């Protein structure tokens, strides 16, 4: 048995390879000792680690584990998922929306980090909590579905009020910029607030990603990371914003396991 593990800031992603088949599972990073205890029950497994908490996890386990750099592992995993999906891209940008967001150029067989942003899954969780007191990911995602961003976010068309706009009117001019215009006539629900949190996260991630794609001359932006898990609203925001800006978005199923699969492939 081979086990690839990406121990990130929030979640530990585990990819288990047995008989040429992967099975996937994830645990909270706060449960890292429990993951180590489980690994110690399978001492003969070949273990490959990556992610910010890999070295700590390595210190807790009995196996002589392989360790790789997170960015290389993630890229390797993305390549293997793209191959499986018969998606042949030789020049693209990938954006890993984890706790934070890391953005990379890919040219054939190498990745170079283009940059990142502090807007990501961690911001989604923290800002949602500050605004609504909710802290469960599934609850946050479910609540956002019924939200109305129009009373919170200011769009270009709101500023131009029917006049011809120099850029698409549907673009957000100011995230949260419509709040004070509506504060006396609207009440803002938890759903509205969280939908707007997903809005600022999704749009910031997309903006930074497409700027990287433009600088690099790439057509596609590949998005991965657990922030998109069962989170159709965030996916839609990113898809629509990427298309609105004339780039092509691509989501990889199980893409959040790219680091775990990749470090195992690099072993």
262 binds, among Mg ion, ligand ATP, none (CB under 5 to 8 A by kind): none
Please identify, among the stretches 79-87, 97-105, 160-168, 210-218, the one whose residues bind ligand ATP according to the rule CB under 6 A: 97-105
Contact yes or no for 7/56 (Cβ under 8 A):
yes
- Site residues for ligand ATP, 207-226, by CB under 6 A, read 225-226
- Site residues for ligand ATP, 238-257, by CB under 6 A, read 256
The structure tokens listed for 139 are: 């609850």
The single residue among 61, 124, 260, 266 that binds ligand ATP, judged by CB under 6 A, is: 124
Q: Is 4 left (phi over 0), alpha (psi -120 to 50) or beta?
A: beta
Q: Should residue 8 be labelled a site residue for Mg ion when binding is judged by CB under 5 A?
A: yes
The structure tokens listed for 200 are: 């600022």
| 70 tagged catalytic | yes
The full DSSP string for 99-152 is SSEEEEEEETTEEEEEEEES-SHHHHHHHHHHHH----HHHHHHHHTT--GGGT
The structure tokens listed for 153 are: 């976010």
Q: Should residue 71 be labelled a site residue for ligand ATP when binding is judged by CB under 6 A?
A: no
Shortest Cβ distance from residue 162 to Mg ion (Å)?
A: 44
Catalytic member of 27, 70, 186, 256: 70
Shortest Cβ distance from residue 76 to ligand ATP (Å)?
A: 15
- Residues contributing to the site for Mg ion (CB under 5 A): 8, 98
């Amino acid at each position: 048995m081979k086990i690839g593990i990406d121990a990130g800031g929030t979640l530990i992603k585990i990819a288990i390879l047995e008989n040429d088949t992967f099975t996937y599972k994830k645990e909270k990073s706060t449960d890292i000792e429990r993951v180590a205890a489980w690994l110690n029950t399978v001492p003969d497994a070949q273990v490959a680690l990556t992610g910010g908490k890999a070295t700590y996890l390595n210190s807790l386990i009995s196996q002589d584990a392989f360790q790789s750099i997170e960015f290389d592992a993630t890229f390797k995993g993305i390549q293997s998922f793209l191959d499986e999906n018969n998606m042949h891209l030789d020049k693209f940008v990938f954006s890993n929306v984890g706790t934070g967001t890391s953005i990379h150029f890919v040219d054939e067989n190498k990745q170079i980090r283009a940059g990142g942003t502090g807007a990501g899954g961690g911001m989604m969780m923290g800002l949602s909590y500050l605004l609504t007191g909710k802290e469960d990911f599934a609850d946050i995602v479910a609540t956002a579905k019924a939200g109305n961003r129009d009373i919170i976010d200011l769009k270009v068309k709101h500023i131009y009020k029917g006049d011809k706009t120099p850029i698409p009117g549907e673009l957000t001019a100011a995230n949260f910029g419509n709040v004070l215009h509506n504060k006396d006539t609207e009440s803002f629900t938890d759903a509205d607030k969280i939908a707007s949190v997903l809005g600022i996260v999704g749009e910031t991630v997309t903006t930074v990603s497409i700027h990287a794609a433009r600088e690099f001359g790439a057509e596609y932006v590949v998005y991965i990371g657990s922030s998109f898990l069962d989170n159709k609203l965030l996916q839609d925001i990113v898809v629509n914003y990427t298309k609105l800006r004339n780039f092509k978005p691509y989501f990889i199923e199980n893409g959040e396991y790219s680091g775990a699969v990749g470090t195992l492939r690099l072993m």
